[in-house]
Amino acid sequence: MEILEVDNTAVRISQIKRLQEVKAKRNNQKVEECLNAITTAADTGEGNLLELAVVAARERATLGEISFAIEKVCGRFQAQTRTVSGVYSKEYSTGEVDPVHDVRKMTDDFAQKAGRRPRILIAKMGQDGHDRGAKVVATAYADMGFDVDMGPLFQTPEETARQAIENDVHCVGMSSLAAGHKTLLPKLIEELSALGREDIIVIVGGVIPHQDYDYLYEHGAFAIFGPGTRIPEAAMKIMEEVNRRFSE
């Protein structure tokens, strides 16, 4: 299939350049006044924030600056990710072959040996807001006996690496559907190694074009699971590697 390849680094550099040009050409004192007016209105509740934002934009204040002028007073919204449990195992465990049961046995055996359950962090990094796959997978792994941590949307690789280490997970499963994988995976691996935890398994899920698989494997991905993945099979593969890396 023909796929448009976007160079994320080049896009980012050109965006930064455009922002610098905008900032160099505008009247910064006027921008400052407009932004202060927004902050004051947010603080006092007096005035129309939308109108003030339009005035600031006409003076070439950036979206980031306008939202930050409000954020100073209101803080930043943090979306809460809620997952459900039991749904996945109930749906899957109906036939004679029960792959969920098989994985459950593997996670139970590991818990017996290691004194704690296998732990996985499902991470969403970058500006990618597609969170359904991540939630499905998080729910499924919890049903199969993993301890599951669900990271917030829009994490940086540094934040994901830190959360993985603080929570002492065995595996980070990054879910990527907005083409950030070739930038975000190497950065995550780099951060984990810089913090001395290159032993943490990193897997990638989501919409990943096949021509990028080799690149991701070369940069440290243990496995890649795209749409249509049979989740218990993916979990078995992860458990085999968890056993290999973390069982004494």
Determine if 179 is a binding residue for ligand B12 (CB under 6 A).
yes
Between 58 and 90, whose beta carbon lies closer to ligand B12?
A: 90
111 binds ligand B12, rule: CB under 6 A = no
| DSSP-derived 3-state class of residue 18 | helix
> Of 29-37, 102-110, 143-151, 224-232, which segment contacts ligand B12 by CB under 6 A?
224-232
Regarding 151 and contact with ligand B12 (CB under 6 A), the answer is: no
The CA distance from 5 to 8, in Å, is 9
Among 112, 132, 196, 244, binds ligand B12 (CB under 6 A): 132
CA-angle at 191, arms to 155 and 179, nearest 5°: 50
* CA distance linking residue 161 with residue 248, whole number of Å: 24
Residue 18 CB partners (closer than 8 Å, separation 6+): none
Of the listed pieces 27-35, 81-89, 129-137, 183-191, which binds ligand B12 according to CB under 6 A? 129-137
Q: DSSP 3-state helix, strand, coil percentages of the chain (rounded to 5)?
A: 55, 10, 35
Per CB under 6 A, the list member of 229, 236, 243, 246 interacting with ligand B12 is 229
User: Footprint of ligand B12 on this chain (CB under 6 A)?
Assistant: 122, 127-134, 136-137, 173, 175, 177-179, 203, 205-207, 225-227, 229, 234
